Structure 1
């Protein structure tokens, strides 16, 4: 049975998120400019979807790390996350 990867074995979620988000912003700007052809637009869109998924996964990983940090030795939450409501 393969060993589970520790959080140290996984790429840093924040670095993955920042890199993916930066590239995604560049792709969106290129698509919004309208200066590229249909084929290139489709390829950029496909890459953008993949990057968005990477960002979602990085955010999930970060959320899991936060949840782990908020638990005590017995697995009970020690702090309650704050929900910010929009006005």
Structure 2
């Protein structure tokens, strides 16, 4: 049975996307390279969005299961 592909690491994906954008902004790419990079950027953006949505759903589920967190009193503040 094939193993399920694990989701890419959010921070690595975001770093790759940022590097790609920086490279594209330099303007030294051919049209074909730019199109390939743009396509890869769309894939990376979607991956990041999915990871953020999954994290948001997890937080919402935790809050639903355990209630809203209470604010902590900071005795050193004031």
With the length of structure 2 as denominator, give the TM-score of the two structures: 0.74
More helix by share: 2
By relative contact order (CA 8 Å, sep 6+), the higher-ranking structure is: 2
- Residue equivalent to 1:79: 68
Q: Which runs of 4 or more aligned residues in structure 1 lie more than 3 Å from their structure 2 counterparts after TM superposition?
A: 9-12
Instruction: Give ranges in structure 1 of 5+ residues lacking alignment.
Output: 1-8, 81-87
1:46 aligns to what? 39
Alpha-carbon RMSD:
2.1
C-alpha displacement at 1:10, in angstroms? 8.0
Distance 2:6 2:56 in 1: 15
The correspondence for 2:10, drawn from 17, 22, 25, is 17
The aligned length equals 66
Unaligned runs of 5+ in 2: 70-78
2:26 maps to which of 23, 30, 33: 33
